[in-house]
Structure 1
Amino acid sequence: MRIGLIAGGGQFPILFSKKAVKKEYKVFAVGFTSETDKTLGDYVEDLKWIYLGQVTKLIKYFKQHHITQAVMLGSIKKTNIFKNIRPDFKALSFIAKTARTHDDSVLTSFADLLLKEGIRILPSTFLLPELITPKGCWTKRKPDKAEKKDIFQGWKIAKEIGKLDIGQCIVISNGTVLAVEAIEGTDVTIKRGGLLSHHNGAVVVKLSKPSQDLRFDLPSSGCQTIESMHESGVTILVLEAEKSIAFDRDEMITLANKYNISILGYTDDDIT
Protein backbone atom coordinates (compact mmCIF):
# COMPACT_ATOMS: atom_id res chain seq x y z
CA MET A 1 0.00 0.00 0.00
CA ARG A 2 1.17 3.51 -0.82
CA ILE A 3 0.26 6.79 0.81
CA GLY A 4 1.34 10.37 0.26
CA LEU A 5 2.36 12.73 3.02
CA ILE A 6 2.34 16.52 2.77
CA ALA A 7 4.56 17.31 5.73
CA GLY A 8 4.72 20.55 7.66
CA GLY A 9 6.80 21.14 10.77
CA GLY A 10 6.76 19.39 14.14
CA GLN A 11 6.66 15.75 15.15
CA PHE A 12 3.30 14.78 13.64
CA PRO A 13 4.68 13.77 10.18
CA ILE A 14 7.34 11.58 11.80
CA LEU A 15 4.86 9.93 14.19
CA PHE A 16 2.56 9.24 11.25
CA SER A 17 5.37 7.82 9.11
CA LYS A 18 6.51 5.45 11.85
CA LYS A 19 2.96 4.16 12.35
CA ALA A 20 2.34 3.91 8.61
CA VAL A 21 5.45 1.75 8.11
CA LYS A 22 4.27 -0.56 10.91
CA LYS A 23 0.96 -0.86 9.07
CA GLU A 24 2.93 -1.81 5.92
CA TYR A 25 2.38 1.44 4.04
CA LYS A 26 5.04 2.89 1.79
CA VAL A 27 5.14 6.62 2.53
CA PHE A 28 6.03 9.08 -0.22
CA ALA A 29 6.46 12.48 1.40
CA VAL A 30 6.64 16.07 0.23
CA GLY A 31 8.49 18.37 2.63
CA PHE A 32 8.82 22.15 2.70
CA THR A 33 12.33 23.57 2.92
CA SER A 34 11.40 26.13 5.57
CA GLU A 35 9.21 23.89 7.73
CA THR A 36 9.73 20.14 7.64
CA ASP A 37 11.99 18.25 10.04
CA LYS A 38 15.10 17.27 8.07
CA THR A 39 15.10 13.80 9.66
CA LEU A 40 11.74 12.87 8.08
CA GLY A 41 13.63 11.20 5.23
CA ASP A 42 14.80 8.52 7.69
CA TYR A 43 11.22 7.30 8.16
CA VAL A 44 9.71 7.35 4.66
CA GLU A 45 10.16 5.52 1.38
CA ASP A 46 11.05 8.72 -0.44
CA LEU A 47 11.07 12.45 0.30
CA LYS A 48 10.70 15.32 -2.16
CA TRP A 49 11.72 18.82 -1.03
CA ILE A 50 9.79 21.79 -2.40
CA TYR A 51 9.08 25.42 -1.52
CA LEU A 52 5.72 26.64 -0.32
CA GLY A 53 3.59 27.35 -3.37
CA GLN A 54 5.08 24.73 -5.70
CA VAL A 55 1.79 22.93 -6.26
CA THR A 56 2.65 21.54 -9.69
CA LYS A 57 5.78 19.82 -8.35
CA LEU A 58 3.77 18.30 -5.51
CA ILE A 59 1.11 16.89 -7.81
CA LYS A 60 3.68 15.64 -10.34
CA TYR A 61 5.66 13.88 -7.61
CA PHE A 62 2.58 12.09 -6.25
CA LYS A 63 1.48 11.03 -9.72
CA GLN A 64 4.96 9.72 -10.53
CA HIS A 65 4.69 7.45 -7.49
CA HIS A 66 1.06 6.45 -8.16
CA ILE A 67 -0.28 8.12 -5.02
CA THR A 68 -4.09 8.30 -4.88
CA GLN A 69 -4.51 9.09 -1.19
CA ALA A 70 -2.54 11.33 1.12
CA VAL A 71 -2.55 13.18 4.44
CA MET A 72 -1.63 16.77 5.32
CA LEU A 73 0.19 16.87 8.66
CA GLY A 74 2.29 19.28 10.66
CA SER A 75 2.46 23.01 11.09
CA ILE A 76 3.23 25.81 8.67
CA LYS A 77 4.48 28.93 10.44
CA LYS A 78 2.24 31.69 9.20
CA THR A 79 5.16 34.10 9.34
CA ASN A 80 6.83 32.00 6.64
CA ILE A 81 3.90 32.62 4.29
CA PHE A 82 5.47 36.01 3.68
CA LYS A 83 8.88 34.54 2.85
CA ASN A 84 10.32 31.26 1.51
CA ILE A 85 7.38 31.00 -0.87
CA ARG A 86 7.60 30.39 -4.63
CA PRO A 87 4.05 30.15 -6.02
CA ASP A 88 3.86 28.51 -9.44
CA PHE A 89 1.17 29.14 -12.06
CA LYS A 90 -1.16 26.49 -10.60
CA ALA A 91 -0.80 28.01 -7.12
CA LEU A 92 -1.50 31.52 -8.41
CA SER A 93 -4.52 30.25 -10.33
CA PHE A 94 -5.73 28.43 -7.20
CA ILE A 95 -5.36 31.59 -5.08
CA ALA A 96 -7.24 33.65 -7.65
CA LYS A 97 -10.15 31.21 -7.66
CA THR A 98 -10.34 30.87 -3.86
CA ALA A 99 -13.05 33.24 -2.69
CA ARG A 100 -11.99 33.19 0.97
CA THR A 101 -8.43 33.25 2.26
CA HIS A 102 -9.14 31.89 5.74
CA ASP A 103 -7.01 28.92 6.75
CA ASP A 104 -9.79 26.34 6.64
CA SER A 105 -11.20 27.58 3.35
CA VAL A 106 -7.78 27.48 1.71
CA LEU A 107 -6.99 23.99 3.00
CA THR A 108 -10.38 22.60 2.03
CA SER A 109 -10.11 24.17 -1.43
CA PHE A 110 -6.60 22.74 -1.78
CA ALA A 111 -7.89 19.29 -0.85
CA ASP A 112 -10.60 19.70 -3.50
CA LEU A 113 -7.92 20.65 -6.05
CA LEU A 114 -5.93 17.51 -5.25
CA LEU A 115 -9.08 15.38 -5.50
CA LYS A 116 -9.60 16.66 -9.06
CA GLU A 117 -6.08 15.40 -9.75
CA GLY A 118 -7.00 11.97 -8.38
CA ILE A 119 -5.45 12.42 -4.90
CA ARG A 120 -7.83 12.12 -1.95
CA ILE A 121 -6.89 13.74 1.37
CA LEU A 122 -7.59 11.50 4.38
CA PRO A 123 -8.16 12.58 8.01
CA SER A 124 -4.89 13.38 9.75
CA THR A 125 -5.64 10.95 12.60
CA PHE A 126 -6.77 7.91 10.60
CA LEU A 127 -3.66 5.94 11.64
CA LEU A 128 -3.19 7.70 15.01
CA PRO A 129 -6.58 7.82 16.76
CA GLU A 130 -4.76 7.68 20.09
CA LEU A 131 -3.75 11.33 19.61
CA ILE A 132 -7.36 12.55 19.69
CA THR A 133 -8.08 14.53 22.85
CA PRO A 134 -10.31 12.59 25.30
CA LYS A 135 -13.02 14.08 27.49
CA GLY A 136 -12.62 14.73 31.19
CA CYS A 137 -10.13 16.12 33.68
CA TRP A 138 -6.72 14.55 33.03
CA THR A 139 -4.92 15.88 36.09
CA LYS A 140 -5.00 15.83 39.88
CA ARG A 141 -5.78 19.53 40.01
CA LYS A 142 -9.33 20.53 39.16
CA PRO A 143 -10.61 24.04 38.39
CA ASP A 144 -12.19 26.04 41.21
CA LYS A 145 -15.47 27.96 40.93
CA ALA A 146 -13.89 31.16 39.57
CA GLU A 147 -11.82 29.22 37.02
CA LYS A 148 -14.92 27.34 35.85
CA LYS A 149 -16.60 30.68 35.20
CA ASP A 150 -13.62 31.76 33.08
CA ILE A 151 -13.69 28.43 31.24
CA PHE A 152 -17.35 28.80 30.26
CA GLN A 153 -16.93 32.43 29.22
CA GLY A 154 -13.63 31.74 27.45
CA TRP A 155 -15.13 28.83 25.53
CA LYS A 156 -17.90 30.98 24.08
CA ILE A 157 -15.50 33.78 23.19
CA ALA A 158 -13.03 31.37 21.56
CA LYS A 159 -15.84 29.93 19.43
CA GLU A 160 -16.75 33.42 18.20
CA ILE A 161 -13.12 34.21 17.41
CA GLY A 162 -12.91 30.88 15.58
CA LYS A 163 -15.80 31.90 13.34
CA LEU A 164 -13.67 34.84 12.20
CA ASP A 165 -10.65 32.53 11.67
CA ILE A 166 -8.42 34.72 13.81
CA GLY A 167 -6.94 31.94 15.94
CA GLN A 168 -7.69 28.82 17.96
CA CYS A 169 -6.76 29.95 21.46
CA ILE A 170 -7.41 32.66 24.03
CA VAL A 171 -6.13 33.42 27.55
CA ILE A 172 -8.69 34.69 30.06
CA SER A 173 -8.63 35.61 33.76
CA ASN A 174 -11.38 36.96 36.02
CA GLY A 175 -13.65 37.46 33.03
CA THR A 176 -11.12 39.51 31.07
CA VAL A 177 -9.57 38.28 27.82
CA LEU A 178 -5.82 38.82 28.17
CA ALA A 179 -4.60 37.44 24.85
CA VAL A 180 -6.02 36.20 21.56
CA GLU A 181 -3.98 33.98 19.27
CA ALA A 182 -3.21 35.42 15.87
CA ILE A 183 -0.26 34.73 13.57
CA GLU A 184 2.27 34.27 16.39
CA GLY A 185 1.01 30.88 17.61
CA THR A 186 -0.19 29.37 20.88
CA ASP A 187 2.99 29.46 22.98
CA VAL A 188 3.54 33.18 22.39
CA THR A 189 -0.14 33.83 23.12
CA ILE A 190 0.14 31.98 26.44
CA LYS A 191 3.24 33.92 27.44
CA ARG A 192 1.62 37.23 26.51
CA GLY A 193 -1.49 36.41 28.51
CA GLY A 194 0.55 35.23 31.48
CA LEU A 195 2.52 38.47 31.49
CA LEU A 196 -0.69 40.51 31.59
CA SER A 197 -2.04 38.38 34.44
CA HIS A 198 1.22 39.08 36.34
CA HIS A 199 1.73 35.30 36.57
CA ASN A 200 -1.20 35.03 39.01
CA GLY A 201 -3.08 32.33 37.17
CA ALA A 202 -5.18 32.35 34.02
CA VAL A 203 -7.12 29.98 31.78
CA VAL A 204 -6.10 28.90 28.27
CA VAL A 205 -8.96 27.78 26.03
CA LYS A 206 -7.90 26.16 22.77
CA LEU A 207 -10.65 25.03 20.40
CA SER A 208 -11.24 23.94 16.85
CA LYS A 209 -13.01 26.46 14.66
CA PRO A 210 -16.76 25.97 14.15
CA SER A 211 -16.19 25.29 10.45
CA GLN A 212 -13.06 23.20 11.03
CA ASP A 213 -12.33 20.57 8.41
CA LEU A 214 -11.33 17.69 10.67
CA ARG A 215 -9.03 16.22 8.02
CA PHE A 216 -6.30 18.74 8.84
CA ASP A 217 -5.16 21.70 10.93
CA LEU A 218 -6.61 20.31 14.17
CA PRO A 219 -5.63 22.29 17.27
CA SER A 220 -2.69 20.56 18.92
CA SER A 221 -0.95 20.67 22.28
CA GLY A 222 1.97 18.96 23.91
CA CYS A 223 4.64 19.22 26.58
CA GLN A 224 5.81 22.58 25.24
CA THR A 225 2.31 23.93 25.87
CA ILE A 226 2.57 22.93 29.52
CA GLU A 227 6.08 24.38 29.84
CA SER A 228 4.89 27.69 28.36
CA MET A 229 2.01 27.76 30.84
CA HIS A 230 4.31 27.05 33.77
CA GLU A 231 6.75 29.78 32.72
CA SER A 232 3.84 32.21 32.40
CA GLY A 233 1.97 31.35 35.60
CA VAL A 234 -1.06 30.04 33.66
CA THR A 235 -2.88 27.27 35.53
CA ILE A 236 -5.73 25.85 33.40
CA LEU A 237 -5.64 24.33 29.90
CA VAL A 238 -8.96 23.61 28.23
CA LEU A 239 -8.90 21.57 25.01
CA GLU A 240 -11.74 20.56 22.74
CA ALA A 241 -12.30 16.85 23.22
CA GLU A 242 -12.61 14.76 20.05
CA LYS A 243 -11.73 17.75 17.82
CA SER A 244 -8.09 18.33 18.77
CA ILE A 245 -4.93 16.31 19.24
CA ALA A 246 -2.47 15.98 22.11
CA PHE A 247 1.09 14.77 21.64
CA ASP A 248 2.90 12.85 24.41
CA ARG A 249 -0.22 12.87 26.57
CA ASP A 250 1.27 10.88 29.46
CA GLU A 251 4.25 13.24 29.62
CA MET A 252 1.89 16.22 29.44
CA ILE A 253 -0.06 14.92 32.42
CA THR A 254 3.10 14.22 34.42
CA LEU A 255 4.35 17.77 33.79
CA ALA A 256 0.97 19.30 34.58
CA ASN A 257 0.74 17.45 37.88
CA LYS A 258 4.28 18.54 38.72
CA TYR A 259 3.41 22.20 38.05
CA ASN A 260 -0.09 22.01 39.60
CA ILE A 261 -1.73 22.73 36.25
CA SER A 262 -5.16 21.41 35.29
CA ILE A 263 -5.87 19.94 31.82
CA LEU A 264 -9.47 19.50 30.76
CA GLY A 265 -11.06 17.99 27.65
CA TYR A 266 -14.50 19.47 27.05
CA THR A 267 -17.12 19.43 24.31
CA ASP A 268 -19.89 21.93 23.60
CA ASP A 269 -22.22 19.75 25.70
CA ASP A 270 -20.09 20.45 28.79
CA ILE A 271 -20.54 24.20 28.45
CA THR A 272 -23.85 25.33 29.92
Structure 2
Amino acid sequence: MPAPKGLIAGLGRFPIEVAQAARNAGHAVVAVGLRGLTEEALRAEVDRFEWVHLGEIERLIAVFRDAGARDLVMAGKVPKTFLWQKPELVQPDARALQAMAGIADRKDDSLLGAVADLLEGEGFRLLGQAELAPGLFAAPGQLGVVAAGENELRDIAFGWPMAKAIGELDVGQTVVVRGQAVLALEAVEGTDEAVRRGCALGEPGASVVKVAKPAQDMRFDVPTIGAATIQALADGGARALAIEAYKTVVLSRQETIALADRHGIAVLGLVDGALPGGGEDVS
Protein backbone atom coordinates (compact mmCIF):
# COMPACT_ATOMS: atom_id res chain seq x y z
CA MET A 1 0.00 0.00 0.00
CA PRO A 2 1.44 3.42 -0.95
CA ALA A 3 2.63 5.62 1.88
CA PRO A 4 0.20 8.38 2.91
CA LYS A 5 0.90 12.04 2.30
CA GLY A 6 1.45 14.20 5.36
CA LEU A 7 -0.32 17.56 5.71
CA ILE A 8 0.82 20.28 8.12
CA ALA A 9 -2.33 22.39 8.38
CA GLY A 10 -2.54 26.05 9.28
CA LEU A 11 -5.35 28.58 9.09
CA GLY A 12 -8.36 28.58 6.79
CA ARG A 13 -9.74 26.45 3.95
CA PHE A 14 -6.47 25.89 2.14
CA PRO A 15 -5.58 22.69 4.06
CA ILE A 16 -9.08 21.32 3.50
CA GLU A 17 -8.88 21.85 -0.26
CA VAL A 18 -5.38 20.37 -0.44
CA ALA A 19 -6.58 17.29 1.46
CA GLN A 20 -9.60 16.91 -0.82
CA ALA A 21 -7.43 17.18 -3.93
CA ALA A 22 -4.92 14.66 -2.60
CA ARG A 23 -7.59 12.12 -1.73
CA ASN A 24 -9.31 12.64 -5.09
CA ALA A 25 -5.96 11.73 -6.64
CA GLY A 26 -5.93 8.47 -4.67
CA HIS A 27 -3.64 9.41 -1.79
CA ALA A 28 -4.28 8.66 1.85
CA VAL A 29 -3.71 11.79 3.96
CA VAL A 30 -2.44 12.15 7.52
CA ALA A 31 -2.91 15.67 8.86
CA VAL A 32 -1.43 17.50 11.82
CA GLY A 33 -3.52 20.49 12.87
CA LEU A 34 -2.26 23.48 14.83
CA ARG A 35 -4.36 24.21 17.90
CA GLY A 36 -6.12 27.54 17.64
CA LEU A 37 -5.60 27.79 13.88
CA THR A 38 -6.68 24.70 11.96
CA GLU A 39 -10.37 24.22 11.19
CA GLU A 40 -11.96 21.22 12.90
CA ALA A 41 -13.67 20.44 9.57
CA LEU A 42 -10.34 19.15 8.23
CA ARG A 43 -10.74 16.01 10.35
CA ALA A 44 -13.50 14.72 8.05
CA GLU A 45 -11.34 15.19 4.94
CA VAL A 46 -8.32 13.08 5.98
CA ASP A 47 -7.58 9.49 6.97
CA ARG A 48 -5.89 10.41 10.25
CA PHE A 49 -5.86 13.67 12.17
CA GLU A 50 -3.79 14.76 15.17
CA TRP A 51 -3.49 18.07 17.04
CA VAL A 52 -0.22 19.74 18.02
CA HIS A 53 0.62 23.11 19.48
CA LEU A 54 2.60 25.46 17.28
CA GLY A 55 6.23 24.63 17.98
CA GLU A 56 5.78 20.97 18.95
CA ILE A 57 8.17 19.71 16.30
CA GLU A 58 9.03 16.41 17.98
CA ARG A 59 5.37 15.41 18.25
CA LEU A 60 4.73 16.43 14.65
CA ILE A 61 7.64 14.27 13.48
CA ALA A 62 6.45 11.36 15.61
CA VAL A 63 2.94 11.47 14.10
CA PHE A 64 4.20 11.34 10.53
CA ARG A 65 6.76 8.64 11.27
CA ASP A 66 4.14 6.50 12.99
CA ALA A 67 1.86 6.88 9.96
CA GLY A 68 4.64 6.07 7.49
CA ALA A 69 4.37 9.43 5.73
CA ARG A 70 7.53 10.70 4.08
CA ASP A 71 6.15 13.27 1.65
CA LEU A 72 4.78 16.30 3.49
CA VAL A 73 3.02 19.48 2.41
CA MET A 74 2.35 22.71 4.32
CA ALA A 75 -0.95 24.50 3.68
CA GLY A 76 -2.63 27.34 5.52
CA LYS A 77 -1.13 30.47 6.96
CA VAL A 78 0.31 30.84 10.45
CA PRO A 79 -0.10 34.59 11.07
CA LYS A 80 2.69 36.22 13.02
CA THR A 81 0.02 37.94 15.08
CA PHE A 82 -0.91 34.49 16.46
CA LEU A 83 2.45 34.38 18.22
CA TRP A 84 1.59 37.55 20.15
CA GLN A 85 -2.15 37.19 20.59
CA LYS A 86 -2.29 33.50 21.57
CA PRO A 87 1.00 32.85 23.42
CA GLU A 88 -0.60 30.04 25.46
CA LEU A 89 -1.03 28.04 22.21
CA VAL A 90 2.61 28.47 21.18
CA GLN A 91 4.65 25.76 22.88
CA PRO A 92 8.05 25.36 21.19
CA ASP A 93 9.97 22.27 22.18
CA ALA A 94 13.76 21.95 22.28
CA ARG A 95 14.00 21.16 18.55
CA ALA A 96 11.94 24.21 17.62
CA LEU A 97 13.94 26.50 19.89
CA GLN A 98 17.19 25.19 18.43
CA ALA A 99 15.96 25.80 14.86
CA MET A 100 14.75 29.32 15.69
CA ALA A 101 18.05 30.18 17.39
CA GLY A 102 19.85 29.56 14.11
CA ILE A 103 18.04 32.18 12.01
CA ALA A 104 18.96 35.84 11.73
CA ASP A 105 15.46 37.39 11.57
CA ARG A 106 11.75 36.60 11.81
CA LYS A 107 10.77 37.01 8.16
CA ASP A 108 8.31 34.43 6.84
CA ASP A 109 10.87 32.82 4.54
CA SER A 110 13.41 32.59 7.37
CA LEU A 111 10.97 30.97 9.81
CA LEU A 112 9.36 28.58 7.35
CA GLY A 113 12.69 27.78 5.71
CA ALA A 114 14.09 26.75 9.09
CA VAL A 115 11.16 24.38 9.63
CA ALA A 116 11.55 22.98 6.11
CA ASP A 117 15.27 22.37 6.61
CA LEU A 118 14.62 20.64 9.94
CA LEU A 119 12.02 18.31 8.44
CA GLU A 120 14.15 17.44 5.44
CA GLY A 121 17.05 16.80 7.79
CA GLU A 122 14.83 14.19 9.44
CA GLY A 123 14.35 12.39 6.13
CA PHE A 124 11.03 13.88 5.04
CA ARG A 125 10.44 15.44 1.61
CA LEU A 126 8.55 18.74 1.65
CA LEU A 127 6.39 19.08 -1.45
CA GLY A 128 5.00 22.18 -3.09
CA GLN A 129 1.21 22.41 -2.81
CA ALA A 130 0.97 22.29 -6.60
CA GLU A 131 2.32 18.72 -6.56
CA LEU A 132 -0.74 17.53 -4.64
CA ALA A 133 -3.33 20.11 -5.69
CA PRO A 134 -2.44 21.69 -9.06
CA GLY A 135 -6.08 22.56 -9.72
CA LEU A 136 -6.12 25.13 -6.93
CA PHE A 137 -3.79 27.50 -8.75
CA ALA A 138 -5.04 30.34 -10.94
CA ALA A 139 -5.01 30.01 -14.70
CA PRO A 140 -3.95 32.95 -16.89
CA GLY A 141 -6.51 35.34 -18.31
CA GLN A 142 -9.81 36.82 -17.19
CA LEU A 143 -11.20 34.51 -14.49
CA GLY A 144 -14.77 35.83 -14.36
CA VAL A 145 -17.22 37.65 -16.61
CA VAL A 146 -16.08 41.16 -15.66
CA ALA A 147 -13.35 42.76 -17.76
CA ALA A 148 -10.90 45.29 -16.34
CA GLY A 149 -11.20 48.80 -17.74
CA GLU A 150 -8.36 51.00 -18.95
CA ASN A 151 -7.99 52.74 -15.59
CA GLU A 152 -7.73 49.45 -13.76
CA LEU A 153 -5.19 48.09 -16.23
CA ARG A 154 -3.04 51.18 -15.80
CA ASP A 155 -3.16 50.79 -12.04
CA ILE A 156 -2.30 47.10 -12.29
CA ALA A 157 0.68 47.88 -14.51
CA PHE A 158 1.77 50.52 -12.01
CA GLY A 159 1.33 48.29 -8.97
CA TRP A 160 2.79 45.02 -10.26
CA PRO A 161 6.51 45.90 -9.92
CA MET A 162 5.83 47.43 -6.49
CA ALA A 163 4.19 44.22 -5.31
CA LYS A 164 7.21 42.31 -6.60
CA ALA A 165 9.52 44.71 -4.76
CA ILE A 166 7.89 44.19 -1.35
CA GLY A 167 7.81 40.47 -2.08
CA GLU A 168 11.54 40.48 -2.66
CA LEU A 169 11.95 42.12 0.76
CA ASP A 170 9.67 39.42 2.27
CA VAL A 171 7.41 42.12 3.66
CA GLY A 172 4.16 41.24 1.86
CA GLN A 173 2.71 40.33 -1.53
CA THR A 174 -0.13 42.79 -2.08
CA VAL A 175 -0.42 46.42 -3.22
CA VAL A 176 -3.58 48.54 -3.37
CA VAL A 177 -3.51 51.24 -6.07
CA ARG A 178 -5.82 53.96 -7.36
CA GLY A 179 -4.98 56.54 -10.01
CA GLN A 180 -1.39 55.24 -10.13
CA ALA A 181 -0.88 56.08 -6.46
CA VAL A 182 -0.19 53.46 -3.81
CA LEU A 183 -2.87 53.36 -1.10
CA ALA A 184 -1.52 50.41 0.90
CA LEU A 185 1.25 47.84 1.01
CA GLU A 186 0.63 44.53 2.74
CA ALA A 187 2.58 43.80 5.90
CA VAL A 188 1.92 41.54 8.87
CA GLU A 189 -1.87 42.15 8.81
CA GLY A 190 -2.36 40.03 5.66
CA THR A 191 -4.02 40.59 2.30
CA ASP A 192 -7.64 41.14 3.30
CA GLU A 193 -6.86 43.72 5.98
CA ALA A 194 -4.39 45.50 3.69
CA VAL A 195 -7.14 45.75 1.07
CA ARG A 196 -9.58 47.19 3.61
CA ARG A 197 -7.01 49.70 4.85
CA GLY A 198 -6.05 50.80 1.35
CA CYS A 199 -9.59 51.13 0.05
CA ALA A 200 -10.57 53.20 3.09
CA LEU A 201 -7.91 55.76 2.20
CA GLY A 202 -9.20 56.53 -1.28
CA GLU A 203 -12.39 56.86 -3.27
CA PRO A 204 -14.02 53.75 -4.80
CA GLY A 205 -12.26 52.33 -7.84
CA ALA A 206 -9.02 50.90 -6.46
CA SER A 207 -7.18 47.98 -8.01
CA VAL A 208 -5.40 45.29 -6.01
CA VAL A 209 -2.30 43.43 -7.16
CA LYS A 210 -1.19 40.20 -5.43
CA VAL A 211 1.92 38.36 -6.62
CA ALA A 212 4.38 35.66 -5.69
CA LYS A 213 7.76 36.70 -4.37
CA PRO A 214 10.43 36.91 -7.09
CA ALA A 215 12.21 33.93 -5.47
CA GLN A 216 9.02 32.26 -4.26
CA ASP A 217 9.54 28.91 -2.55
CA MET A 218 6.47 27.04 -3.77
CA ARG A 219 6.55 24.76 -0.72
CA PHE A 220 5.12 27.44 1.57
CA ASP A 221 3.62 30.93 1.89
CA VAL A 222 2.25 30.94 -1.66
CA PRO A 223 -0.16 33.81 -2.41
CA THR A 224 -3.76 32.82 -1.74
CA ILE A 225 -7.14 34.47 -2.32
CA GLY A 226 -10.69 33.42 -1.57
CA ALA A 227 -14.19 34.71 -1.05
CA ALA A 228 -13.06 36.78 1.96
CA THR A 229 -10.57 38.58 -0.26
CA ILE A 230 -13.24 39.42 -2.81
CA GLN A 231 -15.57 40.60 -0.05
CA ALA A 232 -12.84 42.92 1.23
CA LEU A 233 -12.52 44.42 -2.27
CA ALA A 234 -16.28 44.73 -2.59
CA ASP A 235 -16.64 46.43 0.80
CA GLY A 236 -14.01 48.96 -0.21
CA GLY A 237 -15.40 49.63 -3.68
CA ALA A 238 -12.39 48.13 -5.50
CA ARG A 239 -12.88 47.23 -9.15
CA ALA A 240 -10.08 44.84 -10.06
CA LEU A 241 -7.84 42.15 -8.62
CA ALA A 242 -4.73 40.98 -10.49
CA ILE A 243 -3.02 37.81 -9.29
CA GLU A 244 -0.06 35.86 -10.54
CA ALA A 245 -1.18 32.92 -12.68
CA TYR A 246 0.19 29.44 -11.84
CA LYS A 247 1.52 30.76 -8.50
CA THR A 248 -1.62 31.97 -6.70
CA VAL A 249 -4.16 29.69 -5.02
CA VAL A 250 -7.84 30.49 -5.54
CA LEU A 251 -9.85 28.87 -2.76
CA SER A 252 -13.46 27.81 -3.32
CA ARG A 253 -12.90 28.91 -6.90
CA GLN A 254 -16.49 28.80 -8.15
CA GLU A 255 -17.84 30.69 -5.13
CA THR A 256 -14.99 33.20 -5.17
CA ILE A 257 -15.27 34.12 -8.85
CA ALA A 258 -19.09 34.19 -8.71
CA LEU A 259 -18.86 36.67 -5.82
CA ALA A 260 -16.48 38.86 -7.85
CA ASP A 261 -18.88 38.76 -10.79
CA ARG A 262 -21.82 39.81 -8.59
CA HIS A 263 -19.87 42.80 -7.29
CA GLY A 264 -18.56 43.83 -10.72
CA ILE A 265 -14.93 43.07 -9.83
CA ALA A 266 -12.54 41.99 -12.57
CA VAL A 267 -10.20 39.14 -11.58
CA LEU A 268 -7.16 38.61 -13.80
CA GLY A 269 -4.48 35.94 -13.79
CA LEU A 270 -1.26 37.39 -15.24
CA VAL A 271 1.95 35.68 -16.29
CA ASP A 272 5.08 37.79 -15.66
CA GLY A 273 2.83 40.84 -15.38
CA ALA A 274 1.74 40.73 -19.03
CA LEU A 275 -1.60 42.51 -19.39
CA PRO A 276 -4.44 40.95 -21.41
CA GLY A 277 -4.76 41.76 -25.08
CA GLY A 278 -1.03 41.79 -25.70
CA GLY A 279 -0.23 44.47 -23.14
CA GLU A 280 3.40 44.85 -22.26
CA ASP A 281 5.16 42.94 -19.52
CA VAL A 282 5.10 45.11 -16.41
CA SER A 283 7.35 42.95 -14.24
Give the TM-score range, shorter chain.
Answer: over 0.9
1:46-65 map, 5 Å: 46-65=48-67
Deviation at 1:250, TM superposition (A): 2.5
The structure 1 residue matched to 2:210, chosen from 195, 198, 206, is 206
SS at match of 2:74: strand
Name the residue aligned to 2:79. 77
Question: Secondary structure of 1:25's match?
Answer: coil
| Structure 2 residue 248 is matched with structure 1 residue 244 | yes
1:150 aligns with 2:152: no
5+ unaligned residues in a row in structure 2: which ranges? 275-280
Which stretch shifts more, 143-152 or 212-221?
Answer: 143-152
Q: What SS class does the counterpart of residue 179 from structure 1 fall into?
A: strand
| Uncovered stretches (5+) of structure 1, i.e. residues with no partner | none
Equivalent positions of 1:101-112 (< 5 A) are 101-112=106-117
Corresponding residue number in structure 2 for 1:21: 23
Q: Which residue of 2 aligns with 1:41?
A: 43
1:221 aligned onto 2:222: no
Matched, 1:67 2:69: yes
**1:120 maps onto 2:120 in alignment:** no
- 8 Å CA contact 1:35–1:77 kept in 2: the answer is no
**Coordinate RMSD, CA, aligned:** 1.6
Length, aligned pairs only: 271
Matches within 5 A, 1:174-185: 174-185=179-190
- What is the percent sequence identity of the aligned residues? 39
In the superposition, the TM-score normalised over structure 2's length comes to 0.90
2-structure distance, mates of 1:202, 1:64:
50
Residue matched to 2:97: 92
Q: Secondary structure at the match of 1:151?
A: helix
Q: Are positions 1:10 and 2:12 aligned together?
A: yes
The alpha carbon displacement at 1:88 in A equals 1.0
Which of the residues 208, 230, 239 maps onto 1:235? Answer: 239
Q: Does 1:172 align with 2:174?
A: no
Q: Deviations over 1:42-69 (max 9, x none)?
A: 2222222111111111112212222211
For residues 152-171 of structure 1, what are the alpha-carbon distances to aligned partners after superposition, in whole Å with 9 as ceiling and x for unaligned? 11001111111111111110
CA–CA distance in structure 1, aligned partners of residues 25 and 262 of structure 2: 36
2:16 aligned partner, one-letter code: I
Distance 2:107 2:83 in 1: 13
SS in 2 for 1:265: strand
Between the aligned partners of 1:114 and 1:168, the Cα distance in structure 2 is 26
Of 98-107 and 153-162, more deviation after overlay is shown by 98-107
Letter in 1 for 2:145: K
Question: Runs of at least 4 residues of structure 1 off by over 3 A?
Answer: none
CA distance in 2, matches of 1:159, 1:24: 36
Q: Is the 8 A contact 1:162 1:168 kept in 2?
A: yes
Q: Return the TM-score normalized by structure 1.
A: 0.94
